[in-house]
Structure 1
Amino acid sequence: MKVKKWIRKCLQILLALVLLCSLAIGIVINFIVTPEKITPKALSIANKFLVGKVACERIELTFFSSFPNFGLKFQKGALLPNPNYADQDTLVQFKEAKLSFNLYKFLKNNEVDVKHIKLDQPQLYFQLDSLGDSNWNIIKPQREEEAQDSTDDGLDIKDFSIQKLEINHAQARYKDGVSLLNYAVNDFNLILDLAKDNKGLGLNVKNLNQEIAIYRVPEKQFKIEKTGMDAELYFSFSDTLLSLQKSDFIVNDIHFQNKGKIQFFPQQKRTFIAIDSELQTKSLKNIIDLIPHTFLAKEEVTTQGDLKLQLHTEGFYDKNQYPKLTANLQLENASLAYKDFPGKISHLTTHITSEIDRQAPKNSYATIKDLTVVGTGINLQSSGDIQQVLLDPLVHLQLNGNLNLTQLYQAFPFDKNITASGAITTKIKTNFFVSQLQNSEFEDLAIEGKVQLNDLAIASFKDSLSLNSKRLELYFFKDKEKYNTLASTIDLKDSNIEFKDQFKASAEKLAGKVWVKQTGKRKAHLNAEIALKKLRFKAQDSIWGFVQNAQIDAELHPKEKDLPTSINSQFSIDSVAVGLNKSYVAIAKGNYELELTKKAPKKWLPKGSVSFKNLIAYDPKLIHRLEMPSSKIAFKNDKLTLDKTALNFGDSDIELTGNLDHAIGFKNGELVTANLSVSATKINANQLMQVFAGVNQQMAVTSDTNKLTKVESDSLSQEKHAFKIPENLAFQLNTKVKQLEFGKMQLNNIYGKVMVKNGNLKLDRLHFNTLAANLDASLTYTAKDRQKPALDFEFYMTEVEMGKLNEVIPALDSLLPATKAFEGKADFRIKGKVNLNEQLAFEASSLRGIAAMKAKDIMVLDGPTFRELAQTFMFKNQEKNPVKSLEVEMEFEEDDVNILPALLEIDRYRLAIGGVQHLDMTYDYHISVLKSPVPFKTGVDITGEDFDNYAISITRAKYKYYFTDKKRLLKKADSSIIKNKARILEELHYK
């Protein structure tokens, strides 16, 4: 009884001590050793041992969650590489990490004994550069530790060790600058147990990865699923030797057992590797499982046979050396069958050996011996080898095979999205150096055999891909009779391909031959003769085309010392058309000569010519079709040479001779230049301008018969629109045109220069005539704003019918309606700037400029206004009243025409006329009588809304001093008006 009381008492005391210790620890953790105090201290200790840097937002001391050890809980931390390393991407980054350690050793002996480090879902990034330096080399060398064995606060760290590292669900990347390979690991998991003693460090490694992607930028990634490692390693400090006591690399249920050693020489930046690896798997089925589902359905499968793979890697690895690799793969007595399917691969065998040695590249090789696959619908035998793999590989290959796709598809579990039928027969024997293909040295190529496809039909519903061919025969042979060299023939019949409704193509028949030919000292080149009966294609629901009866002759000249690679070809095509939506170009009886010269890996420069019987081009924006009768166009790169090339567009019939440079600018917006002679029977400038105006119009194309349905010209829109000339055009045109329609003007017998530059159309001293007058004109068309194009112009008209001025310049109908009252011919000159409306006619209200007219022996037609004036002035009124002379200067400004005082001699009178004509047809004129039978000078004011509604009033003569030879009287006139009249005559080049 006393014993029980004593035990109970001891337990009570012990419990009290535990509670007291727990309370003390809780007080210390929560009130004394707070995160604010421990964070800088812990970072200082960690950074003492590292060249890189540890950063962390918060570090918290724990005990109860890491019992029986104390622990540290890190939040939002990162481990940075050596600051001298080129790539400063973060080495390790995490949201939360935990670390437990032996507090007793730390307090008593200043030893850092880390029991466990755990990272959950971190981001890891490791890199090895081209010189062999790594970003994870962040631990300070021993001599630096000894030199800095105490921190600033006097803390002396005696030892540092880690016993266990655990990483869960990490995302990891590794870049190898030596091999130029990149690795990306999805769901990386690692448990690393370390046991350190005085001689070295033992490591137990367990690793599991959901997926590893291996790639070179920018190549496509190669992905491996479910990989891992289970290894026992020992690292010796004295000789930096890592021994692989056990190493199992796992891919699904396939194991690579590895044994050997890896020795590091950090000062020399090199590593010595000596490892033996052997493939071990319980079943051949595990190998089958590595084949992607896209190619082979994963149904229940039974396999037989032995698969052996042995690898041996030995040698130094650094920036200049790679270890020697030898491999031996044997597959014997293998077979494969699927449950519930009749198909079977009854015999599968091969033996492959290889050796890759960078130090002795001539001895590197790979050999395939007796690769045999026999089964339902399959009979394949192949053998070959590749010598001097690392130099100029010499390939020997023999392949005999028959595939019955119909049997294969019915007997094996293909992906349900794939259908296949037809037969493939192959019999090929070849040997060649890879450099022969790279350097296009075809003369020494040795290849003979055939490839035959009959009734081939392959479709993938998932990828929306289908391929069909009635027959494809390809023969390779050494021709001794006709070519005396390597030759090949091709015969294709009724074939088509379709991909995702984005591309469709079909060929009715294609036959031809290809052979090697040597000319003089030049390298051998390829010649080809191809005959094509009918080809149709369609892409992306908008691009379409067809070729009918084509003959193609081509030569490929390989690159030589002083000569680049080039292709010379000649085409003869009955008809060809290429279109985009409802736009198209169609050519009948075309002949092409084309030379392509290679100037860069993806840059070929074209040169040649094209001739044809007829060409038709159409785009809805053009409204009219462009037609070219029998023509020949030469080109070099994107420079075109035209020689009397005829163009028919709407009402225009044009012939062009000259050069057009840098035609690619029509597509990419760069400068396009041209120097052309333009000869035409008729040019409808209004229709040509609509090319740039963007007017939409429909055009019917019957794709089933590949014939072009023409739209009747009278059904096309005749609406005219303002247009803007692209600023990247710089054209100089020397014109000779019989008839030109521009706006409402009809011009004839035109010759002169037309310039297109900086978005402007300029006519320089162009001469032409109309039914009413002969004209010399200079004008500049500008359309910075599509809605308000402007025209700077000078028109000089000689022998113009005064009553028909408005036919030459329609705007004068409202600006100078009085000219209709005169009959006879005059010289009229006008200069100014005006906006054009969408019909390319003058906006009279925007006209700013000057004009002058001189006439002799003209007639004033009888009318109500003239009859009343005749009665007022008391001169004879006739049906046609002769005028000896008329000289008028005028200015156009705002909405008015300001007519400066002008001299008019009629009958026995000498009159001075001036005033203002408004655009609303109202007017305010004054006539001063300077000479008359009445011996005094008087004046008449005429105002009105139109010429049938007017008012006449007698007033003083306002212009009596403007037309006198007496200087005394002339000084009384308004000098500004006299100077203005002189300025207008000078600007218009009147003598």
Structure 2
Amino acid sequence: MKKVLLIITIIFVVLIGSAVLIPVLFKDTLMEKVKTAINKNVNATVEFNDFNLSLFKAFPKVQAEIVDLSITGKDQFQTDTLFSAGSIATNLSLSDLFNANDLKISSILIDKANINLLSTADGLVNWDIAMPTEEETTVDTTQSDMAISLQSIEVRGLNLTYNDEATTTIVQLKDANLDASGEVEGTITRFKLDAEVGEFVLNYDSTQYIANTVLKANSELTADYDKMVFEFGESRLYLNDLPLDLSGRFEMPSDSMYFDLQLKQPESSFKTLLALVPKDYQSYLDGVTANGDAGFEASVKGWFYEEDYPEINARLYIKNADLKYQDLPEKISAIALETAITKPQGDLDLLKVEISKAHAQIRENPIDMHLLLTTPMSDMAFDAALNGKIDFSTLAGAIPMDSIDLSGVLAGNLSLKGTMSAVEAEDFTKITSNGNFTFSNIHVQTPQITKPFELSSGTVKINNQEIAVSSFAAKTGSSDFTLNGKLSNYLPYFLNDQTLRGDFNLQSNYLNLDELSSLMAEDTTTTTATSDSVIAFQVPGNLDLTFRSKIAKASFDQMDISNIDGLIVVKNKMLQLQKLDMNMLGGELTIDGNYISSEKNQPDFDFNVQINSFDIPVAYQSIGTMQHYMPIAAKSTGKISSQIKFKGKMNESLSIIPTSLNGNGFLSTQNLQIVDSPTFDQVKNFIKSEKLKNVKVEDFTSKFRLENGNLLVDPFQTNIADQEVTVSGQVLVDQTLDMDLAFKVNKDDLTGDISNALSFLPGSSNISKLDIGVGVTGELSSPKVSLDLSKAKDQIAEEVKKSTKEELEKSAKKIGDELKKLFK
């Protein structure tokens, strides 16, 4: 028993030791074989971080694993990673480890792979990494270090992107998984294959045509690795939940490929075809009853080599179908569609896409359409037409509108025929475009807008060169407007992203600009709130539009505005106001200037503003800038006129950022009166108080500058409370001020104490005005007033020096007489 236990222990130790030593002993040999095999077969940069061997993971076989593999192209593709994987593993027999001349790969496991296939505009591809061989060289497969005879393939988390720059086509397979197991008979392997693609995406010419589509496949595949022929047995594909039967084969005899594949929908029903609707929108089909015939079938047959592509035939059809939501009263009936995608063997420019028939109707309101696209690669030609009538009331009774209240009638037709080269060259002689649409009694109300939009009438006429808009009479809230005009260069704009030009006349009896600025409803799902609503907007760069505006009356921020007349131009990412005149605040306003979009949503502006006879109390209540720089206007009456040229920035709510202001201008007053001002109340110790109750200011004109938000006032002269005064100083952006008021006070208007004191001084009779300086500093809301009597003292001293001996004795006697009266 002891001997048996000893033998078992020895065997166990040997096995454990082998399991540990074999990966160590053979790791370098296998790594060298892998590197040699790769270098012999690819013209690319291949890197991996580690190479592992394990006897435990796949016992009794050894698992070989490459970790963090990447394959990068060379030359112009040296920055493009063609392939990467978290790991690639295969299982090897122990005999392969001891056979230095041969490795047999029968299974492979790939995890977290990314494949990026790129075909450049000049026809080069990044996957052409096979080492070039001379035609006369014969390959001796018996001397190969590695043989591939796959029986099991497992792929997890594969992402594949194909980017064809010449056709502006991008195809993506996201989060794909694949399981394939097979039986080997010589060089032939029969696979059972299960695959699923989490999302299939197709983009063409910057437009996404397919997204959120799930692909699945269950297939039997026979692979002849010797002849490189792959044939599908009983196979089924699924686009979302739409089943498609797949049959046929493809071959790869050399550097070309041959296809003979067929796809066909097994059930020709409209309801089954609706499974093509992307997953994100499948919920819209809940409760839908669908009837009618429909189907999809396609075939690919022929050779693929360089620019020679196989023949393609695809057909999608719908016949005598209808669709109805069970909770809605109306149905969409007479649905018909006939679509074909065809191409003979040859160049992709032979591809033709044709919708020969598309029809649907609700009650007696039909819509018909056809489309033909040819020569997509060289110069795409198009021929399309649309004709029909939509009664939005019945449409809302057939399709769920998600809280949208919609009514009214749209009727019209449109035809378009030409080539992309004619569009780009603006050669309208080679483009045929005709259309006519009429709108009547359109009513739109959605949760996204605060007021319903109503279009009582409107006509749109379309030809090769322009879209003419006439009799657009609309209303939203309390605002109304009528729009007439035209759009030109619309084909290059819609088809080639060129500049859209337009010239319109806008007329209105009344515009409520407060309602219009808050027309978009607040998003209640937003988690972050701001104190100001965001109304700053981006002006598109490919618009060149002119609006001649005549608005009888408007209101904004409690201001009544009338007789708005001028040009509004949208151009070069700017909103330009040109000689925009209006009556407001009891006077007139003219604006010239630009509003310039900013990526940070802080638009720039550059304005020249002329103000004529604004009523001061009304202007103070309405203009925030005036409240910022002239709080004294809150207790003022009269009128002001001004011309200001300034520029700066606005915030997201279109309020001016004070520190950004720079400019210059002048300010004039008419009949200015300052009522019960606390500031002027502080100078009553040298001016009679009755003069300061309602301070009259003589009309003046003052020049000023704006520097980084600071208002700098050049010295100017006026009369305040019937006293000559020179005013200068500054109002800073932090709402503090430092103003100097140099008064020449009439002797008769001095307070009694100062007047009496002067009467005792010799030479006082020669003083008609006294120089008194007043400094106003501190916060704008509560400024401090300080007196500067230095000039007055110098003035008095100078007059005393001029006095005669008799005048001095007389003044001394007068002072003595007053003292006697005081002590009598």
Using the size of structure 2 for normalisation, the TM-score is: 0.66
CA drift at 1:189 = 0.8
**Pairing partner for 2:614 from 644, 647, 664:** 647
CA drift at 1:256 = 6.1
**Pairing partner for 2:246 from 249, 257, 266:** 257
Determine helix, strand or coil for the equivalent of 1:212: strand
Quick one: which amino acid aligns to residue 778 of structure 2?
Answer: L
Deviates more, 1:414-423 or 1:168-177: 414-423
Quick one: which amino acid aligns to residue 878 of structure 1?
Answer: K
Q: Is the 8 A contact 1:772 1:804 kept in 2?
A: no
In the aligned structure 1, how far is the partner of 2:406 from the partner of 2:472? 20
Q: CA RMSD in A?
A: 6.1
CA drift at 1:591 = 1.9
In the aligned structure 1, how far is the partner of 2:721 from the partner of 2:479? 59
CA drift at 1:101 = 0.8
Instruction: Quickly say closer, same or farther: Cα 1:592–1:141, change in 2 above 3 A.
Output: same
**Pairing partner for 1:117 from 90, 108, 129:** 108
Q: Hey, what does 1:576 align to over in structure 2?
A: 554
Aligned: 1:767 with 2:717: yes
What is the identity percentage for the equivalent residue pairs of Structure 1 and Structure 2? 9
Determine helix, strand or coil for the equivalent of 1:78: strand
Instruction: Quickly say closer, same or farther: Cα 1:447–1:859, change in 2 above 3 A.
Output: same
**Pairing partner for 2:177 from 172, 189, 205:** 189
Instruction: Quickly say closer, same or farther: Cα 1:567–1:491, change in 2 above 3 A.
Output: closer
Aligned: 1:587 with 2:561: yes
**Pairing partner for 2:14 from 24, 46, 55:** 24
Q: Is the 8 A contact 2:319 2:337 kept in 1?
A: no
C-alpha offsets along residues 620-642 of structure 1, whole Å, 9 cap, x if unaligned? Answer: xxxxxxx2513444447765455
Q: Hey, what does 1:101 align to over in structure 2?
A: 92
Determine helix, strand or coil for the equivalent of 2:99: helix
CA drift at 1:28 = 1.8
Q: Is the 8 A contact 1:52 1:138 kept in 2?
A: no
C-alpha offsets along residues 531-585 of structure 1, whole Å, 9 cap, x if unaligned? Answer: 656666433458799xxxxxxxxxxxxx9xxxx974443222121234xxxx455
In the aligned structure 1, how far is the partner of 2:405 from the partner of 2:705? 63
Quick one: which amino acid aligns to residue 178 of structure 2?
Answer: L
Aligned: 1:128 with 2:85: no
Consecutive unaligned residues in structure 1, runs of 5 or more: 1-12, 150-155, 479-483, 496-504, 546-558, 616-626, 687-712, 721-740, 808-812, 861-869, 883-947, 949-991
Q: Hey, what does 1:59 align to over in structure 2?
A: 52
Quick one: which amino acid aligns to residue 670 of structure 2?
Answer: T
Q: What pairs with 1:318-333 in structure 2 (closer than 5 Å)? A: 321=307, 323=309, 326-329=312-315, 331=317, 333=319
CA drift at 1:209 = 1.8
CA drift at 1:104 = 0.2
Q: What pairs with 1:809-828 in structure 2 (closer than 5 Å)? A: 825=767
Instruction: Quickly say closer, same or farther: Cα 1:162–1:418, change in 2 above 3 A.
Output: farther
**Pairing partner for 1:78 from 68, 85, 108:** 68
Quick one: which amino acid aligns to residue 25 of structure 1?
Answer: L
Q: Hey, what does 2:360 align to over in structure 1?
A: 373
Q: Is the 8 A contact 2:760 2:814 kept in 1?
A: no
Q: Hey, what does 2:198 align to over in structure 1?
A: 210
Determine helix, strand or coil for the equivalent of 2:95: helix
CA drift at 1:87 = 3.9
Instruction: Quickly say closer, same or farther: Cα 1:604–1:449, change in 2 above 3 A.
Output: same
Quick one: which amino acid aligns to residue 255 of structure 1?
Answer: L
In the aligned structure 2, how far is the partner of 1:107 from the partner of 1:826? 125
Aligned: 1:791 with 2:738: yes
Instruction: Quickly say closer, same or farther: Cα 1:180–1:569, change in 2 above 3 A.
Output: closer
CA drift at 1:593 = 3.0
Quick one: which amino acid aligns to residue 606 of structure 1?
Answer: Q
Q: Is the 8 A contact 2:716 2:728 kept in 1?
A: yes
Q: Hey, what does 2:778 align to over in structure 1?
A: 836
Q: Hey, what does 1:606 align to over in structure 2?
A: 576
Quick one: which amino acid aligns to residue 104 of structure 1?
Answer: S
Q: Is the 8 A contact 1:349 1:372 kept in 2?
A: yes
Q: Is the 8 A contact 1:454 1:469 kept in 2?
A: yes
Aligned: 1:159 with 2:101: no
In the aligned structure 2, how far is the partner of 1:567 from the partner of 1:806? 69
Instruction: Quickly say closer, same or farther: Cα 1:530–1:359, change in 2 above 3 A.
Output: farther
Q: Is the 8 A contact 2:659 2:708 kept in 1?
A: no
Instruction: Quickly say closer, same or farther: Cα 1:833–1:80, change in 2 above 3 A.
Output: farther
Q: Hey, what does 2:706 align to over in structure 1?
A: 756
The structure with the larger Rg is 1
Q: Is the 8 A contact 1:654 1:678 kept in 2?
A: no
CA drift at 1:296 = 4.0
In the aligned structure 1, how far is the partner of 2:10 from the partner of 2:176? 43
Quick one: which amino acid aligns to residue 660 of structure 1?
Answer: K
Higher fraction of strand: 1
CA drift at 1:29 = 1.8
CA drift at 1:344 = 6.5
CA drift at 1:116 = 2.7
Q: Hey, what does 1:878 align to over in structure 2?
A: 814
Instruction: Quickly say closer, same or farther: Cα 1:60–1:859, change in 2 above 3 A.
Output: same
In the aligned structure 1, how far is the partner of 2:657 from the partner of 2:258? 56
C-alpha offsets along residues 712-749 of structure 1, whole Å, 9 cap, x if unaligned? Answer: x99xx9899xxxxxxxxxxxxxxxxxxxx999998656
Deviates more, 1:762-771 or 1:438-447: 438-447
Instruction: Quickly say closer, same or farther: Cα 1:383–1:749, change in 2 above 3 A.
Output: closer
**Pairing partner for 1:298 from 286, 290, 293:** 286
In the aligned structure 1, how far is the partner of 2:382 from the partner of 2:666? 60
Quick one: which amino acid aligns to residue 574 of structure 1?
Answer: A
Instruction: Quickly say closer, same or farther: Cα 1:140–1:104, change in 2 above 3 A.
Output: farther
Instruction: Quickly say closer, same or farther: Cα 1:25–1:71, change in 2 above 3 A.
Output: farther
**Pairing partner for 2:383 from 373, 379, 395:** 395
Instruction: Quickly say closer, same or farther: Cα 1:309–1:299, change in 2 above 3 A.
Output: same
CA drift at 1:69 = 1.9
CA drift at 1:356 = 6.5
Q: Is the 8 A contact 1:43 1:54 kept in 2?
A: no
Instruction: Quickly say closer, same or farther: Cα 1:262–1:79, change in 2 above 3 A.
Output: same
Instruction: Quickly say closer, same or farther: Cα 1:182–1:533, change in 2 above 3 A.
Output: same
In the aligned structure 2, how far is the partner of 1:432 from the partner of 1:850? 88
**Pairing partner for 1:676 from 654, 665, 674:** 665
Q: What pairs with 1:159-178 in structure 2 (closer than 5 Å)? A: 159-161=146-148, 163-164=150-151, 166-167=153-154, 169-170=156-157, 172-174=159-161, 176=163, 178=165
Using the size of structure 1 for normalisation, the TM-score is: 0.56
Q: Is the 8 A contact 1:489 1:514 kept in 2?
A: yes
**Pairing partner for 1:307 from 286, 295, 305:** 295
In the aligned structure 2, how far is the partner of 1:640 from the partner of 1:194? 77
Higher fraction of helix: 2
Q: Is the 8 A contact 2:367 2:386 kept in 1?
A: no
Instruction: Quickly say closer, same or farther: Cα 1:82–1:104, change in 2 above 3 A.
Output: same
CA drift at 1:227 = 0.3
Determine helix, strand or coil for the equivalent of 1:106: helix
In the aligned structure 2, how far is the partner of 1:508 from the partner of 1:40? 82
Instruction: Quickly say closer, same or farther: Cα 1:14–1:876, change in 2 above 3 A.
Output: closer
Q: Is the 8 A contact 2:473 2:481 kept in 1?
A: yes
Q: Is the 8 A contact 2:441 2:456 kept in 1?
A: yes
Q: Is the 8 A contact 1:475 1:490 kept in 2?
A: no
Determine helix, strand or coil for the equivalent of 1:104: helix
Quick one: which amino acid aligns to residue 288 of structure 1?
Answer: L
In the aligned structure 2, how far is the partner of 1:338 from the partner of 1:15? 80
Instruction: Quickly say closer, same or farther: Cα 1:313–1:78, change in 2 above 3 A.
Output: same
